[in-house]
């Protein structure tokens, strides 16, 4: 007992001593932390140089705006209006006048400086506890100027980590399917963008139907389903080189692919003669292994983060339900028992939860349950939505939702949405076109 007490103290102490401000992320965002994000200061010479290279009038303002938007989107912070700031960016970064920031009710303050050095972008920033009048963190890094948006995301991650005690999820990307055209003949392309919707890029041309892209653990590769030459097969795409290859040599449809947590295998379904089972293929030696062997439909496999278990979707009970098995296919156990149908199980990066889509009485829900099926919690209900994907810190889910565009129930639109694990902070994620099948990358800076 004493030992356990000591252990807790050891874990808590470092946090308690240094973090004077804390953001509780386990509950809803009822009281977002008021934070002032001062524009990063920039000297005239650097300003001119960055303007030439990046066509941005004031890079310091631009980067601080990224941080501000990220913090606001998280729902945990309330970035204050810049017009109310009394202190100039350069002076604030040297030594904030805490009374001034206190006056506008800021509890935390971010300041910083941007310089152009040897053709590089150098950024330093500081996080201040306004109430205690103390510096909480100071960091600097140098990178190529074109990385300026990522700098904003990395700063947000550091601030988020310092104030919540958890990993951030801002320096990340989303891969998804861009959709256009009528529902009966949808054009679908793979697309990739930053987590905040910027730097959107299309990875395929839309000549063939593509579905369900998913990142490799290192974010360099994507596995997805393509109808190239009308043969639906799982493909592998290298994001940098654009090289694509089909995964394995299966005499029928392969689909529902995901990477194993070590990135060495693809797990997927293979359908033959009306029966879908789960297979893996080792990407190095190309060895194919059959994991499930059952006359029912077995699909949507997803590994636990330690690679020891697989959750999947099967209709062996008569209807779609969620199951868990050992990664060798043994010890199959059904875990979903609520009313309705369950699909698209996906293991959280923390390992403790499985997110899913539930269909019940004509409604679609996104929910989570523990890995033994207990503690089911439905986060959001709608006419049509599915396919949750976890943020790398396991705090946010992104999914897609279709809505009718008029009251007669005609026309439709598909968009990406995100919601916190708490069930709060439901938001549409802006995309250029309609969008579906989102998959969240891991942190790029790791």
Residues that bind other proteins (CB under 8 A): 182-186, 209, 211-212, 225, 230, 232, 252-253, 255-256, 269, 271, 273-276, 297, 299-300, 313, 315, 319-320, 341, 343-344, 357, 359, 362, 383-384, 386-387, 404, 409-410, 412, 437
Residue 422: CA count within 13 A, CB half-sphere = 13
Which token pair is 367?
């929910």
Check if the beta carbon of residue 234 is closer than 8 Å to that of residue 223: yes
Q: Smallest gap, in angstroms, from Cβ of residue 397 to other proteins?
A: 15
Check if the beta carbon of residue 425 is closer than 8 Å to that of residue 155: no
Please identify, using beta-carbon distances, which residue of 25 and 210 lies nearer to other proteins: 210
3-state secondary structure 391-419: CCCCCEEEEEEEEECCCCCCCEEEEEEEE
Please identify, using beta-carbon distances, which residue of 205 and 243 lies nearer to other proteins: 205
Q: Smallest gap, in angstroms, from Cβ of residue 250 to other proteins?
A: 12
Please identify, using beta-carbon distances, which residue of 393 and 433 lies nearer to other proteins: 433
Check if the beta carbon of residue 177 is closer than 8 Å to that of residue 214: no
Please identify, using beta-carbon distances, which residue of 319 and 337 lies nearer to other proteins: 319
Distance of CA 379 to the CA centre of its chain: 17
Q: Smallest gap, in angstroms, from Cβ of residue 409 to other proteins?
A: 6
Three-point CA angle 58, 64, 69, nearest 5°? 125
Give the Cα separation of 211 and 88 in Å (integer).
49
Please identify, using beta-carbon distances, which residue of 184 and 285 lies nearer to other proteins: 184
Q: Smallest gap, in angstroms, from Cβ of residue 223 to other proteins?
A: 13
Please identify, using beta-carbon distances, which residue of 177 and 396 lies nearer to other proteins: 177
Quick count: other Cβ atoms within 10 Å of Cβ 330?
A: 8
Q: Smallest gap, in angstroms, from Cβ of residue 415 to other proteins?
A: 16
Please identify, using beta-carbon distances, which residue of 81 and 184 lies nearer to other proteins: 184
Please identify, using beta-carbon distances, which residue of 210 and 283 lies nearer to other proteins: 210
Q: Smallest gap, in angstroms, from Cβ of residue 386 to other proteins?
A: 5
Residues in the chain, total: 446
Distance of CA 154 to the CA centre of its chain: 15
Give the Cα separation of 391 and 414 in Å (integer).
20
Q: Smallest gap, in angstroms, from Cβ of residue 382 to other proteins?
A: 12
- Count Cβ neighbours within 10 Å for each residue of 44-60 and write b for 16 or more, e otherwise: eebbebbeeeeebebbb
Please identify, using beta-carbon distances, which residue of 182 and 242 lies nearer to other proteins: 182
Q: Smallest gap, in angstroms, from Cβ of residue 55 to other proteins?
A: 40
Q: Smallest gap, in angstroms, from Cβ of residue 283 to other proteins?
A: 21
Q: Smallest gap, in angstroms, from Cβ of residue 271 to other proteins?
A: 4
Q: Smallest gap, in angstroms, from Cβ of residue 184 to other proteins?
A: 5
Please identify, using beta-carbon distances, which residue of 168 and 345 lies nearer to other proteins: 345
Please identify, using beta-carbon distances, which residue of 26 and 184 lies nearer to other proteins: 184
Closest residue by Cα to residue 71 from 138, 160, 154: 160
């Amino acid at each position: 007992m004493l030992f356990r007490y000591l252990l807790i103290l050891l874990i808590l102490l470092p946090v308690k001593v240094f973090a004077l401000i804390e953001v509780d992320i386990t509950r809803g965002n009822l009281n977002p932390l008021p934070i002032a994000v001062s524009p990063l200061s920039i000297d005239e010479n650097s300003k001119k140089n960055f303007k030439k290279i990046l066509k941005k009038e004031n890079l310091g303002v631009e980067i601080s705006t990224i941080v501000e938007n990220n913090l606001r989107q998280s729902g945990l912070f309330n970035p204050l209006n810049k017009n109310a700031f009394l202190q100039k960016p350069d002076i604030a970064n040297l030594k904030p006048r805490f009374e001034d920031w206190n006056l506008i009710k800021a509890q935390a303050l971010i300041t910083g400086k941007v310089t152009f050095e040897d053709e590089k972008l150098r950024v330093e920033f500081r996080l201040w506890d306004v109430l205690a009048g103390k510096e909480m963190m100071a960091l600097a890094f140098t990178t190529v100027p074109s990385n300026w948006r990522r700098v904003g995301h990395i700063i947000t991650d550091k601030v988020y980590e310092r104030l919540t005690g958890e990993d951030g999820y801002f320096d990340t990307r989303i891969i998804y399917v861009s959709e256009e055209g009528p529902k009966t003949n949808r054009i679908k392309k793979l697309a990739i963008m930053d987590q905040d919707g910027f730097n959107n890029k299309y990875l395929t041309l839309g000549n063939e139907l593509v579905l369900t892209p998913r990142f490799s653990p290192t974010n360099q590769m994507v596995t997805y389903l393509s109808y190239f030459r009308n043969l639906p097969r799982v493909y592998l795409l290298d994001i940098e080189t654009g090289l694509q290859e089909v995964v394995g040599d299966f005499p029928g449809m392969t689909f529902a692919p995901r990477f194993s947590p070590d990135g060495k295998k693809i797990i997927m379904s293979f359908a033959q003669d009306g029966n879908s089972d789960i297979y893996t293929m080792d990407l190095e030696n190309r060895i194919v292994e059959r994991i499930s062997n059952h006359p029912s439909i077995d699909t949507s496999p997803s590994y636990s983060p330690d690679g020891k278990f697989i959750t999947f979707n099967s209709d062996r009970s008569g209807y779609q339900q969620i199951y868990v098995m050992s990664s060798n296919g043994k010890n199959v156990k059904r875990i979903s028992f609520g009313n309705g149908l369950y699909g698209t199980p996906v293991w959280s990066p923390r390992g403790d939860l499985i997110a899913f889509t539930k269909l019940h009485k004509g409604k679609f829900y996104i929910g989570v349950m523990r890995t033994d099926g207990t503690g089911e919690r439905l986060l959001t209900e709608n006419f049509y939505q599915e396919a949750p994907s976890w943020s790398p810190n396991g705090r946010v889910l992104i999914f897609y939702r279709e809505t009718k565009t008029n009251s007669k129930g005609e026309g439709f639109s598909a968009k990406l949405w995100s919601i916190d694990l708490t069930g709060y902070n439901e938001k549409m994620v802006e995309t250029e076109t309609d969008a579906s099948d989102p998959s969240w990358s891991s942190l790029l800076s790791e």
